[in-house]
Structure 1
Amino acid sequence: MSPVRPRLTQFPHGITAIDTDYHRPRFDASHLIVDEGRAAFVDTGTTHSVPALLAALAEMGLDRKSVDYVLLTHVHLDHAGGAGELMKYLPNAICIVHPRGARHMVDPAKLIAGTKAVYGEAAFQEMYGEIPLIPAERVRESKDGMVLRLGDRRLTLFHTPGHAKHHYCIFDDRPQAVFTGDTFGVSYRELDTDQGEFILPTTTPVHFDPQAYHQSVDRIMSFEPNACFLTHYSRVTDLDRLAEDLHREIDAFVAIARAHQGAEDRVSTIEQALIRHQAERMAAHGIKSPEETTRRVLDMDLQLDAQGLDVWLSQQEKQQA
């Protein structure tokens, strides 16, 4: 691996966000938690991200043997694609995965095939690279409510379906914060204004479940956290308002999907409606050039959100048939 200089954002209580260089700067973060000389990664980015994660350890003066856990909030490849490669360099680490996702880390063939079917071989390699398996003895399934010790702090893992059935979040008792993967939505720092942070849910295929999503947001808030650390992108703190926004937007996404259920090109029609909706929200949030900003910052998100809503509509149609 050629030397890299990782882009790090350090927070109190031994938490560091590492930019994984996926898609664009400040789009996708891995978080490193350090306590009493012991460390854990939360999400990994892709295989291409691994040099930055290892460089972060070196820059912070941490031995690779000090990493006890690689915590994968879920197995979507922008969160877990780099786990197999990263584990090669962390001799003491155990990878903690939701029971529904663990098999995909031990044998990623189905995960790889499904992703290639969506993006094609060339785009897959460019975005994700090779995805090595993780030996089964180094994978441990999460249990709802399980507690891990990291140094002198407690990490509580709790299952949070809605975005994905194979999703969990992590409550860290030291900063009283939750690492939320995608369950607390996405919030990019370039969308922050004097009105605060801007947030929206993510309905990526294929497990979007609005009722479960609402319940999982409420469960995150039941811990009364001071902050949430999102994979897309890192720390947000105005949590009461953001939780209200997420609940409202989950319902708005469902309404948009249902309003265009009979459209001939349903995915494209839903995507365009989502773009218009988010541009209106951005204008109200004080963001300049809201439509251009929506397309520039949320292009990948809204494409995937539209696809996920289409899958959800198809599931609803089958249930009603």
Structure 2
Amino acid sequence: MGKPVDLGYDISLIDVFDLKTPERTGTYVLHEKELTIIETSASPSIPYLLAGLEALGINPADIQYIIVTHIHLDHAGGAGLLLEKCPNARVIVHPKGKRHLADPSKLIQGAKVVYGEKFAELFDPIVPIPEDRLVTMEDGDTLTLSDERTLTFFDTPGHANHHFSIYDSKSNGIFTGDTIGVYYPQLLAYGVELYLPSTSPSQFNPEAMLHSAKRLEEQSPSRIYFGHFGMSEHPAAVFQQLREWLPKMVEVGERVITEQPLLSFEDKTKTVADGFMKLVQPYLDARGVPREASVYDLLRLDLIVCAMGMVDYFQKQEEK
């Protein structure tokens, strides 16, 4: 397990090893009077999170707020389990996510459809959160953690309808969850910065994603704090890559749905995922990334889930 990373501005990043994989999911710690963490990942990540807090000299009883950008299980699945160790904390969630943290049965059902027999290994246990410990934030609401730090919440659908992003006044940064994509820091070893849209099921909407990105870009942030994984100090590149990759990915999905309508959902998903890889692989080839690089394991997994969301989106469009 790596040590927590000091990102400056009284922010630490703990690698919480979703899928037992380094640099996959992270928890951000805001060292303020109102001690706050952002993102928990899934329940199997909680031991890593607690070890990271211990390494920082933090007693979980001192945590006041646990913020989840959205309720997908790789971001919020461990919140209930963590809360058992944090007797004084409340969980802050998007208004559309509150009821699902109080009663996660639909979350569990949805995840089982996507992950099948791997569900238990990836996500158990999912612990319900008492309603009196859940707090919601509407678009534009603020939370003051100290004289120097106020968080502002922005409703940012596109990846999910229950997603907010959080502007941090102290660092002029934004915690974006999955709204504007996934960052692959594994590629920095090859001098490559890659940011890909996250189009996972079941509420992906490309127009909403671009609108949310525009709102965040208008805040002129200096930093982007990703759910997957880590911090970028090149926000212009982040927004530009989203605008470049998203239409190409949508085009792949639309082409498969239009040209091969009789394929099963599973076969459509595989075909779309292969199409996504045919976009990304030449990009990495041209930048000297070897095809045996370990990042490809992550990319294959992510692109399959992204393909599921893309196929789901177009099938819903056809039903309208």
TM range (shorter): over 0.9
Moved more, 203-212 or 110-119: 110-119
Measure the CA separation in 1 of the matches of 2:190 and 2:15. 24
1:22 aligns with 2:18: yes
The SS at the match of 2:171 is: coil
Consecutive unaligned residues in structure 1, runs of 5 or more: none
Aligned partners of 1:185 and 1:246 also within 8 Å: yes
Residue equivalent to 2:171: 175
Once residues 150 and 260 of structure 1 are traced to their aligned partners in structure 2, the CA distance between those partners, rounded to angstroms, is 48
Report 1:109-128 matches (<5 A). Answer: 109-120=105-116, 122-128=117-123
Separation in 2 of the partners of 1:31 and 1:60? 12
Give the 3-state SS of the residue equivalent to 1:260 in structure 2: helix
Give the Å deviation of 1:63.
2.5
Partner of 1:283: 285
One-letter amino acid of the counterpart of residue 259, structure 1 = R
Question: What residue is the counterpart of 1:271 in the other structure?
Answer: 273
Matching residue's letter, 1:218: K
Matched-pair contact (CA < 8 Å) for 2:172–2:222: yes
**Structure 1 residue aligned with 2:234:** 238
Q: How many residue pairs are counted as aligned between the two chains?
A: 312
Bigger CA drift: 167-176 or 51-60?
Answer: 51-60
Q: Which residue, 28, 32, 46 being the options, matches 1:31? A: 28
Q: Is the 8 A contact 1:6 1:53 kept in 2?
A: no
Distance 1:110 1:87 in 2: 20
Q: CA deviation at 1:193?
A: 5.6
User: Aligned with 2:179: secondary structure?
Assistant: coil
SS for the counterpart of 1:205 is coil
> 1:90 aligns to what SS in structure 2?
coil
User: What is the CA–CA distance in structure 2 between the aligned matches of 1:194 and 1:54, rounded to whole Å?
Assistant: 32
Of 261-270 and 101-110, the range deviating more from structure 2: 261-270
Q: Specify whether residues 259 and 77 from structure 1 end up closer, same or farther in structure 2 by C-alpha distance, changes over 3 A only.
A: same
Alignment partner of 1:147 out of 130, 135, 142:
142
Contact 1:197 1:238 in 2 (8 A): no
1:40-79 Cα deviation digits (max 9, x unpaired) = 1111011111122222222222222321111110000000
Gapped regions of structure 2 (runs ≥ 5): none
Q: Is the 8 A contact 1:115 1:124 kept in 2?
A: yes
Shift of residue 151, structure 1, vs aligned partner: 2.5
Q: Which amino acid aligns with 1:279?
A: Q
> How big is the shift at 1:118?
2.8
Look up the equivalent residue of 2:144 and give its one-letter code: R
Match of 2:157 in 1: 161
| Structure 1 counterpart of 2:319 | 318
Q: Is the 8 A contact 1:278 1:294 kept in 2?
A: no
SS of 2:162's partner is coil
Conserved? CA contact 1:197–1:236, under 8 Å: no
SS at match of 1:268: helix
Q: Where do 1:52-71 residues align within 5 Å?
A: 52-71=48-67
Is contact 1:32–1:42 with CA below 8 Å preserved after alignment?
yes
**What is the TM-score with the length of structure 1 in the denominator?**
0.93
Change (3 A) 1:118 1:28: same
Contact 2:4 2:55 in 1 (8 A): no
